[in-house]
Chains A and B, each alone.
Chain A
Amino acid sequence: MLRRILLGAAASFALAVGFGVAAAEAQIQIAVVGPMTGQYAAFGTQMREGAEQAVADINKAGGVLGQQLVLNIGDDACDPRQAVSVANDMASKGVKFVAGHYCSGSSIPASKVYTDEGLLQISPASTNPKYTDEGAWNTFRVCGRDDQQGAIAGKYLADHFKNEKVAILNDNSAYGKGLADQTKKAFEAAGGKVAMEAAYTPGERDYSALVSRLKQAGVAVIYVGGYHTESGLIIRQAKEQGMKATLVGGDALVTNEFWQIAGDAGNGTMMTFPADPRHRPSAAAVVKEFKDKNIDPEGYVLYTYAAVQIFAEAAQKAGSADPKKVAEVMKSSGPWPTVLGPIGFDKKGDITASDYVFYVWKNGSYAEM
């Protein structure tokens, strides 16, 4: 009797192992890596929601090359060191494709690891030009570049605030400094004059000394190359000190957290962001899926969704999930149909068309200007 039970157990064990192996063969490991914790966790959540939905939809439609996608989630906390260790971790797990990272300061060092280890990387959010300018075979992005974003912001500032005093601040991060530099370049090229320039330390609460300095300089427009937490605190403290300045920023201000921090002081804040992807016809079906789950696909949700979609499409077309082959196909073919509309890539891995427009915050929500 005992022997029969043992035999039965052994048989079922063997069966289970067999299934395990079979299942492992019919899977493609992919990953989404972003700031799942830390002060930019709001964006990590957006990325995770987008990637999870994309993987679910692709798998429901039969997967890629008949195989199911398996999503790994990595947390870099927007810390360049942690980004490198997460990148190594993903490489050791046999991940083929990474949708990430969020912060340019993380994407750039992690991309070196991915290049060496042979992983494909599509960032939904890193806008620093350096990320793709290094010319690696595996770096792509589905968002614009800071020189495109900065060019539009700089021109806008020069057109609308030529006679006002404009200050340009940055937070010394790869993203913030890159954006501020590009905006300054475009602003000066269009005949503007920067009244004050400064870099602040991110992660603090007290920017009152900086704000007083802006007030002393008579600044009417504050351009911030930086993230929403500090931007929100700066404009709030500026209004508390009786300033009437307008805040202008980049794509990082497109999150409801900005309003929660700034409160009414955020009224009139402007920022550049691609025309809202939620309103594009290509996104209608997916947006409905998100809304059914009670998720507002704001910010980078749909960008991450599109990154996963492109990988799936390109792998299908290449007939292989080998990252090198997929990368070649991504550049040589296209444009790829995505929730964001058709996306094509140039030689560097940047999108061929960008469409930054200005948004403005008003009473707790933002809308295109």
Chain B
Amino acid sequence: MTVSDHPRGGFWSDTGRSGLGSWIFSTDHKRIGLLYLFATFGFFLVGVVLGLLLKFELMTPGRTIMGAEAYNAVFTVHGVTMIFLFILPGFPGAFGNLVMPIQVGARDVAFPRLNLLSWWLYMGGALIVLTSLFTGNGPPDTGWTFYVPFSARTGTNVSLAVFGVFIIGFSAILTGLNFITTIHRLRAEGMTWGRLTLFTWSLYATAWVQILATPILAITLVLIMAERMLGTGLFDPGRGGDPLMYQHLFWIYSHPAVYIMILPAMGAISDIIPVFSRKPVFGYKMIAFSSIAIAAAGSLVWGHHMFTSGMSDRAVLVFSFLTFIVAIPSAIKVFNWVSTLYKGSISLEAPMLFALSFIILFSIGGLTGLILGAAATDVHVHDTQFVVGHFHYVMFGGTGFAFFAAMHYWLPKFFGRRYREKPAVIAWALMFIGFNILYFTMKVLGMKGMPRRYYDYLPEFATLNLVSTIGSWILAVGLVIMLVNLIRGLLRGEPFEGNPWGGATLEWSIPTPPPTENFAREPVVTHGPYDFTAMKE
């Protein structure tokens, strides 16, 4: 991280300390944010490579490059990496840390040392997960859901991987309680709840889910380890246990966890769209409220992952009904974003392009979610490629594209240099096209009946699978261009100064890159986060 020829200024150099130690032992929320960014994005790239391998295997029927066992291991590791190492910690860890304390007008988070501990726990957990791949009897092959009874019996290295995820859960809990305390206690003078940015609101909702849902995952993982190592038999039907209780516990966490993934993304989009529309956000209160509503309603609907598991019919009806409730706050957000665009002075720069494609892809993902949430149609497409297509639209098309938008929007602020616009737009176009080819064909394949999690398929699915694989290559090319452009730009590009996009939130009012404690004097906030007229005066 040493920058020799061009001193960056701000928090990069004003502590007078440099070298690796000044980063990995720093309690500065910006340094920790960047550490999270590098780590989570690194794991994202690992996950991408594994995903490309999966698609390569599915290019032709029969064995292409790997057999059934290897395919099981690769999709498990792809899922575990993407979910636990990238998408769950990614947004709160990287952009939550970088931006949120500045947006509320604080010098740092409420518990800076705890924040550093969170990162260390995350890295420790990630290393344990990685170790589990290369030790014992081979990488876990259970799928990221670790379903019993298979996970209790398989000889692969499930215990260690589960332990790593447990540690990462601890890290998420600490981040969550840190953010809630920060938002409650460290808001600057004049920063009322009604003046918080929507990104901060979404992180607040996210943090609550992290706190209230993650412990359930923790106990579930402990029980898996006990099942394997002590033979407790709590989920073993042969000894009176009930595998469905495992599924309940797992999804009590893992469904709300979906909202840990998507809520901060929605928040970032809510911050970006008004700036590039030069118009105050439409329905501020409703967007803020809908973040809380999504977190609350999202905690009631876990059973829709279990419609075909043998759960009671009454529970299926209840969960199916509750699932539709989540659609309401989600739709509130989409309508408000579109209304913000209406009659705005839209400037189509890279962050905005990613943000706009987020709206489209998330809408497609969300609407296909309703097909899965309705019990009757779910039975038809359950455990097919349709499901895989659906959640990639939400997770990758939603959170992933929002993550890219946030990278293009906020990173120049912290690096003091900017990327080139044209390659960014080309990369965006390639990724958007490749993404839709890759995942839309998956949905079609699922409707036609191709199941998920098999390395092989019937010959009639061959053409569409080939198309899907080609889509994955286009997406990968776009990703590489984006990455090269970002790295080159942020390290050696044109200087990025001031407030070129005219954002009205607090992070745009301080020097670029921000100094270590952000504000020379504690700011006094006099206008809302999207009040562009007040800013001009």
Q: Do A and B come from one complex?
A: no
Query: B: which residues have CB within 8 A of A?
Result: none
Query: A: which residues have CB within 8 A of B?
Result: none
